[in-house]
Amino acid sequence: MNSRIYLSSPHMGGSEQRYVTEAFDTNWIAPLGPNVDGFENDLETFLGNGSHVAALSSGTAALHLALILLGVTKGDEVLCQSMTFSASANPIIYQGATPVFVDSEIDTWNMCPIHLEEAIKDRISKGKKPKAMIAVHLYGMPFKVDEIVKISEKYEIPLVEDAAESLGSTYKGRPCGTFGTISILSFNGNKIITTSGGGALVSNDPSVKEKALFLATQARDDAPHYEHTHIGYNYRMSNICAGIGRGQMEVLNDHVALRQGNNAMYQELFEMSNGVRVFTEPDENYVSNHWLSCIVVSEAANFSAKALRLAFSAENIESRPLWKPMHLQPVFKEAPVYGGNISEKLFENGLCLPSGSNLTRDEKHRIRTVIEQFT
């Protein structure tokens, strides 16, 4: 049997181990140290625009702290893109709040500004103004930043930008991860860069970073003993993991280019296929890192997304349906939703294709051979 080809697997650049060895040599085996500071610094430089970055144990932890810092609490409502990974929505529940899901639009597959505004007006008319909104740059594709930010400002509802999948993407030349009232990143094993597990909270307000670090390190007040006026969390990034992150930052741009190359390969492979759309940028304002390359297979095609997935699977190649919308998830079945058709259709007909920056020539050949059976 051929070795398995994954959707997206870790891809080390070469110097990660040197940073980790340095941590061992200097005994910084703790959730603080020079690699944590160095990694935060690298991210702040990469994002620019006055970003302040707090390195954390996961993207989920970053989302949780973002909601706490925005004052989301029991009984509040939080607007959230329905088509996303569950980690975008779960922290709303951690806070005892209620998610209000919003459908996608067809250009970027992300939060639809029209349904978003409809949801806000309707929630306000029902007597409760949403406390925050969570929008996601799915698969690396920037959401409609201008429209979403405008609505956030118009209704004075803070925007949590979930940039977990979009480090290296830009909108109008500006990096994803710099558009939220608070933004978050993820460095899980399958993301564009990895620290094995990790995340970050980003804000252009240094006091937000300071408060995030306070909460992430057990909320210790300034005293010789342990004094607490707040509930704290153990959410800081380890200095070992941050060492991996520093190495990964050295190759981030190369890895983005390789993933964009995968997308170009799929565009070429499906060029002649009726009814197949390779997910690409709607116009030149958007640059996706193409974390995952995806297709939608409509009825006009002579095959289904499922048939292609099974053919890949027979060759030990991983492919996967698109994110199942949160409003269809059993665990969120009570939550209100605005719209729904677009994300439901995408889920029905979509497929994520192998997208690693470490795909070899031989692996690309195996992928090509499967696709050519259908085109």
Ligand X SMILES: *Cc1c(COP(=O)(O)O)cnc(C)c1O
Interface ranges with ligand X (CB under 6 A): 58-60, 84-85, 87-88, 136, 162, 164-165, 186, 188, 199
**Shortest distance, position 197 Cβ to ligand X, whole Å:** 6
Q: Which helix (H) or strand (E) holds 79?
A: strand 77-81
**Shortest distance, position 138 Cβ to ligand X, whole Å:** 7
- Of the pair 88, 169, the CB lying nearest ligand X is at 88
- Of the pair 199, 243, the CB lying nearest ligand X is at 199
**Shortest distance, position 271 Cβ to ligand X, whole Å:** 29
- Of the pair 164, 367, the CB lying nearest ligand X is at 164
171 φ, ψ to 5°? -125, 125
- Of the pair 62, 157, the CB lying nearest ligand X is at 62
CA 244 to chain centre: 19
- Of the pair 162, 363, the CB lying nearest ligand X is at 162
**Shortest distance, position 165 Cβ to ligand X, whole Å:** 5
For residue 262, give the nearest of 153, 154, 356 by alpha carbon.
356
Residues 6+ apart with CB under 8 A from 269: 368, 371, 372, 375
- Of the pair 188, 273, the CB lying nearest ligand X is at 188
- Of the pair 31, 199, the CB lying nearest ligand X is at 199
CB 5 within 8 A of CB 314: no
Question: Distances from the Cα of 315 to the Cαs of 1, 6, 105, in angstroms?
Answer: 8, 12, 34
**Shortest distance, position 151 Cβ to ligand X, whole Å:** 20
For residue 336, give the nearest of 97, 162, 94 by alpha carbon.
97
> Which structure tokens are listed for 306?
């499922």
Instruction: Specify which residues 160 forms β-bridges with.
Output: 134, 182
CA 268 to chain centre: 26
For residue 324, give the nearest of 353, 291, 347, 306 by alpha carbon.
347
**Shortest distance, position 24 Cβ to ligand X, whole Å:** 24
H helix runs in the chain, sequence order? 16-25, 34-47, 59-69, 90-94, 113-125, 145-154, 206-216, 239-249, 252-269, 305-314, 341-349, 361-372
**Shortest distance, position 57 Cβ to ligand X, whole Å:** 8
